[in-house]
Amino acid sequence: MTAAAPAAPSASRLPSLTGLRWIAALLVFGFHAGTMRIIAEPDHQAVVNWFFTLGLSGVQFFFILSGFVLVWSARPGDSRRAFWRRRFAKIYPNHLLLWALVLLVGLWFADPVNVGAALENLFLLQAWDPRPGHFYSVNTVSWSLSCEFFFYFCLPLVLPLVRRARPWALWAVVVGVPLLILALWPGQALVPEADRWWFTQVFPPVRSLEFWMGVAAAELMRRGRWRGPGLPLASLIFAVTWVVAAQWVRAELWAALLSVAYILVITAAADADVRGRRSPWRSRPMVWLGEVSFAFYLVHVFVMITVLRLTGDWGTGFTGWWGVAVVLGFLLLNLGLAALLHRYVETPMMRRLAPRRPKRTIGGPAAVAAPDPLPAPAGPTVAQVAVPGPRTLDRPSAYVDSR
């Protein structure tokens, strides 16, 4: 007589994961505010640097979260075409609007336009082009949308294999991804030096490692086979990892360490929701902030640089407490614009363009709002500035204005 397989967790929405999206968004915002040197006061800037040194890894969090949620929420009978259409409806209207706005503002400032790069960006193909000024182009944060579109294309093709995979194979993915991320450091020596930043930071197949980590973890949890710490311990592990990595660990290890911390927090928060345990991330304000986080990321770098250029303060910074006040003002301004974009573009276009989802069968996981891709900033003109990250040995200087 064979032992029965462990019962899968009961169906549930996962509002804590929506709330956690805002935390990741806030980390990336803080990283950019610090890297742009808006705060000129050395002591204040040092505090920002201490808190947000690893803030750009919020992109990594979103890639892992995207894989987890899309597998958790997948329903039998959902066609590939319907899946692709829903993801297009979720992402593309916001992207198209920001693409047009950034180009119009660029014309106002008389910024040069690379037509080829602009067309690549329009069709979200820019992450495949290693040429400078192409993968970071127009609304530069949209490079991560280019990666996400690749993930979305692959998932319906691979999901049947994921459903049939043995638990040991899924665990091999979860354990192996941090090791593969770590191997990128010596592995980048095989890539021409000029392309190493693009290869490790932007190239969609490389960045998909984090997505597949989330996919494997979600499938293990869906089967009731995930084994990990509860939310309090996972949160503590994440906090300790964040502080230790920022202060004492070499940059080569950051992405690998944080991928472990992120998957533990994501799975623990999901498990807390499924089992009805306490979670600080599913309050109504946190869920709302998470819902507008995609729009927030699409606008935040563009808005900050545009305002600073209009006022003549780009690159100069603000002394005293003015720098802190300006950063907080940018946070509120971007949040307000994100709320409008979510309310009047993202939500109605989803209703108009997305097909109906198939009804959930009894015992299957309930629908959870699919994650918004988190674009990380970079590139020149208007919102075009190059940013450093923890993945490559050859990192460009922060926010070099290449206009």
Q: Any idea which of 37-41, 70-74, 272-276, 367-371 has the lowest mean pLDDT? A: 367-371
pLDDT tens-digit readout, 293-326: 999 999 999 999 999 999 887 778 888 888 899 9
pLDDT recorded at residue 359: 61
Instruction: Examine residue 397 and state whether it is found in any structural domain, yes or no.
Output: no
In the structure, what pLDDT confidence band is assigned to residue 360 with cuts at 50, 70 and 90?
A: low
- Number of structural domains (the chain) is 1
Domain that holds residue 228: 24-353
Q: Any idea which of 55-59, 182-186, 255-259, 398-402 has the lowest mean pLDDT? A: 398-402
pLDDT recorded at residue 393: 32
pLDDT recorded at residue 355: 81
DSSP state of 384: B
Average pLDDT over residues 391-403: 32
Which residue carries 């190493």 as its tokens?
196
Average pLDDT over residues 60-78: 92
Nearest to 396 by CA among 158, 190, 196: 196
Instruction: Examine residue 149 and state whether it is found in any structural domain, yes or no.
Output: yes
CB 353 within 8 A of CB 120: no
pLDDT tens-digit readout, 185-203: 888 888 999 999 999 999 9
SS3 (DSSP) at 381: strand
Q: How far apart are CA 371 and CA 335, in angstroms?
A: 18
In the structure, what pLDDT confidence band is assigned to residue 7 with cuts at 50, 70 and 90?
A: very low
Instruction: Examine residue 4 and state whether it is found in any structural domain, yes or no.
Output: no
Query: Is residue 66 over pLDDT 90?
Result: yes
Half-sphere exposure (Cβ direction) of 309: Cα atoms closer than 13 Å: 18
Instruction: Examine residue 92 and state whether it is found in any structural domain, yes or no.
Output: yes
Instruction: Examine residue 333 and state whether it is found in any structural domain, yes or no.
Output: yes
Q: Any idea which of 44-53, 59-68, 136-145 has the lowest mean pLDDT? A: 44-53
Instruction: Examine residue 6 and state whether it is found in any structural domain, yes or no.
Output: no
Q: How far apart are CA 258 and CA 73, in angstroms?
A: 24
Q: How far apart are CA 22 and CA 58, in angstroms?
A: 10
Instruction: Examine residue 383 and state whether it is found in any structural domain, yes or no.
Output: no
Q: Any idea which of 203-207, 215-219, 307-311 has the lowest mean pLDDT? A: 307-311
Q: What is the value of pTM for the model shown?
A: 0.85
Q: How far apart are CA 269 and CA 72, in angstroms?
A: 13
CB 39 within 8 A of CB 237: no
Task: Read off the amino acid at residue 130.
Answer: P
pLDDT tens-digit readout, 368-388: 444 445 443 333 333 333 333
Average pLDDT along the chain: 85
Q: How far apart are CA 32 and CA 56, in angstroms?
A: 8
Nearest to 151 by CA among 218, 203, 205, 199: 205
Structure tokens at 317: 């910074």
Instruction: Examine residue 183 and state whether it is found in any structural domain, yes or no.
Output: yes
> Which residues have a Cβ under 8 Å from the Cβ of 270 and sit 6 or more positions away?
14, 16, 17, 68, 72, 218, 221
